[in-house]
Structure 1
């Protein structure tokens, strides 16, 4: 189930003013009221969590992670390092 974020449209209680997250099935419609104070809320777009890579992966890092590393030698010919 995805996690949706909601925030108060105007006023609201301390919960919806700060915003809250809620796990809901995709098939259910978006909330229109805060579950605590019944004030109007709107769904907000969440930021996407992507891993930050600080340096390019080296051949030794890839091998330690269990990957096979190949290098192109000729047209259609690869050699395992």
Structure 2
């Protein structure tokens, strides 16, 4: 189930938002459900926020031994169209 982030429509106005929706909150919801329109606590309007995607970062290329340990097959080109398994 994906995690969606929501934020109050008026985060600077304490009369139109509670502490939870003013700071923003996350909610796990099925994909087929429509986006929330109201805060579950204070019932004031909220909007769905597009958040950044978390992707793994590799600082250095994998060595042959690291790739083998991860389960990859390592091939090295020997001739025209001929590869040898390391």
Mark yes or no: TM-score above 0.5.
yes
Root mean square deviation, CA, Å: 1.1
Count of residues in Structure 1 that have an aligned counterpart in Structure 2? 81
TM-score by length of structure 2 reads 0.87
Counterpart in 1 of 2:32? 27
Query: Whole-Å Cα distance in 2 between the matches of residues 65 and 79 of structure 1?
Result: 19
TM-score by length of structure 1 reads 0.92
> Is 1:75 aligned to residue 80 of structure 2?
yes
Partner of 2:65: helix, strand, or coil? helix
Query: Whole-Å Cα distance in 2 between the matches of residues 7 and 74 of structure 1?
Result: 59
Question: Unmatched 5+ residue regions in structure 2?
Answer: none
Question: Unmatched 5+ residue regions in structure 1?
Answer: none
Partner of 2:4: helix, strand, or coil? strand
Runs of 4+ in 1 over 3 A off after TM superposition: none
- The offset of 1:65, in angstroms, is 1.6
